[in-house]
Amino acid sequence: MTTTPGPGTPGLLAATLPVLDLAVASVAAVQDAAARAGRTAPAPPPDPERVAAAFASDRLLRVDGEPVDGFAPLSGFFPAADGWVRTHANYPHHRARLLALLGLPHAAAANPSRDDVTTALAARSAQDVEDAAAATGAIAVRVRTEDEWRASAPGRAAASGTPVRTAVRDDDGAPRPLDHGPRPLAGVRVLDLTRVIAGPVATRTLALLGADVLRLDPPGLPEIEVQHLDTGQGKRSALLDLATRDGRARAQELLDAADVLVTGYRPGAVEAFGLGLPPGAVRARVTAWGDDGPWAGRRGFDSIVQAASGIALVEGSRDGTTSPPASATPGALPAQALDHATGYLVAAAVVDALAERAADGRGRDVDGALARTAHALLVAPRRDPAHGEPRTPGPRCVVAHRALLDGRAVTLTTTRPAVDRLAGEGVDDYAAPARPWGQDDPTWPA
């Protein structure tokens, strides 16, 4: 990743770490992969302001003109007895597990406050909270310095490779040529089993390049619908229960007719249902920690990876210290940059894998990990501890559509695609706004 923003970008995604460099390079990787696959001239570097807007989409998102709070009250940084922890409790089941871990009322009707959680966490060591969370399925980590993370076993695993890896499999299928032109994935079917941000960003990008993307979710696992509307453009969304025999059979039928499977669950979670990948298909996976190392099976989100890897303390320090003490007040990147960058890099790798399959018919595995993206950001040059506040991208970077949210019609303002040119053609918007979550049939179009 060598693309560097040019002049005219001050303040965009401003941070101590070079977030804008990472963002522009990841989107450029998609445009370059699309040009190779479609056999078109390379696209110019993407517009940094459009890229910055897309990465900070949750902060620019508006429902009837009003901003949306991306984090629940019990998500965030809390002081522990000997440092800091970061929690993630945006989903009801994660909130319930966190409260149970702390011995607080966690039934659906219970409503412990942030102050209650603060008091409970202050009495425990950060490491104790992290260990208990890992054992119970709650989401909380100890905030580390980057030196602590680098010396740890999961940190060494994160440093073991590039953000996204591709491996060739031996299950030969029939070569299938891609379309030549700006939308090289026309006719490609993508089965999308992802949630939250990184995976949905990857599949949204594949849809922008012409793929038919069908997202499947289990009916019993709640979704944050406004988040889906921010990342679901150009896709269809259906519910299917893989815990039932009929659901697994239907999923296998869909998978048998797919070219790409993208998953965003922990390693082994989808494989446990016994689904078989058709020969020659591309399998892509997005995880927090990767598929090796001692944390491979742990849950995680962008904010959690930032906290564990040292990014939070780097961004909390404004005195130029390269490795602030663990007692320093943590901060955060100006966007969920690990999610977005990993999503674009996975999409680029999938496009390359499909182009290579067109020649040899062989399947490929694409593996993206937020922790490896965090490592790439931490070792990148051009830190700026004296940065100012992030600049908000201009109104040309957003677009408004009518949408359904929780059954009511709203005006939804979302960001335009970060990919702004394909084969010399300007890309102004996605093919269609996100459809209501779970409202489509689990079928491929005839």
Q: What is the pLDDT of residues 115-153, one digit of tens each?
A: 999 999 999 999 999 999 999 999 999 999 999 999 999
DSSP 365: E
What pLDDT is recorded for position 297? 87
Token pair listed for 294: 């001692």
Known catalytic membership, residue 339: yes
Q: What is the C-alpha separation between 313 and 126, in angstroms, rounded?
A: 15
What pLDDT is recorded for position 319? 54
Phi, psi of 65 (to 5 degrees): 85, -5
Mean pLDDT of the 70-76 span: 88
Q: Give the H/E segment covering residue 165.
A: strand 164-172
**Confidence check: pLDDT of 93 > 60:** yes
**Confidence check: pLDDT of 107 > 80:** no
Q: What is the pTM of this model?
A: 0.95
Q: Which residue carries 């070079």 as its tokens?
A: 18
DSSP 179: P
pLDDT tens-digit profile of 284-295? 999 999 988 999
What pLDDT is recorded for position 446? 81
Confidence of residue 7 (pLDDT cuts 50, 70, 90): low
Decide: helix, strand or coil at residue 256. Answer: helix
Cα first-last separation, the chain = 39
**Residues 443, 247 contacting (CB under 8 angstroms):** no
**Confidence check: pLDDT of 53 > 70:** yes
**Proportion of the chain above pLDDT 90, given as a percent:** 80
**Proportion of the chain above pLDDT 70, given as a percent:** 95
**Confidence check: pLDDT of 51 > 80:** yes
Q: What is the C-alpha separation between 66 and 75, in angstroms, rounded?
A: 21
Mean pLDDT of the 29-56 span: 95
DSSP 187: T
Comparison of pLDDT for 377 and 424, the residue scoring more: 377
What pLDDT is recorded for position 105? 85
**Confidence check: pLDDT of 111 > 90:** no
Decide: helix, strand or coil at residue 161. Answer: coil
**Confidence check: pLDDT of 377 > 60:** yes
Give the residue ranges of DSSP H helices in 87-197: 92-101, 114-122, 126-136, 146-151, 153-158
Q: Which residue carries 């929780």 as its tokens?
A: 406
When the pLDDT of each residue in the chain is averaged and rounded to a whole number, the result is: 92
**Confidence check: pLDDT of 326 > 70:** no
What pLDDT is recorded for position 322? 55
What pLDDT is recorded for position 109? 64
Token pair listed for 194: 């992802």
Confidence of residue 320 (pLDDT cuts 50, 70, 90): very low
Give the residue ranges of DSSP H helices in 257-369: 302-309, 311-316, 337-360
**Confidence check: pLDDT of 108 > 90:** no
What pLDDT is recorded for position 9? 78
Domain borders along the chain are: 19-67+158-290+335-426
Comparison of pLDDT for 273 and 337, the residue scoring more: 337
Mean pLDDT of the 386-395 span: 92
Q: How distant, in Å, are the alpha carbons of 70, 260, 288 from that of 33?
A: 31, 16, 24
**Confidence check: pLDDT of 186 > 60:** yes
Token pair listed for 281: 């298909």
What pLDDT is recorded for position 2? 55
Q: What residues pair up with 405 in beta bridges, in sequence order?
A: 408
Mean pLDDT of the 222-244 span: 92
Fold of 19-67+158-290+335-426: Rossmann fold (3.40.50)
Phi, psi of 306 (to 5 degrees): -55, -45
What pLDDT is recorded for position 82? 93
pLDDT tens-digit profile of 337-366? 999 999 999 999 999 999 999 999 999 999
**Confidence check: pLDDT of 3 > 70:** no
Mean pLDDT of the 231-252 span: 95
Q: How distant, in Å, are the alpha carbons of 229, 230, 239, 358, 436 from that of 409?
A: 13, 15, 21, 43, 11
Active-site residue identified among 259, 339, 352, 420:
339
What pLDDT is recorded for position 21? 97
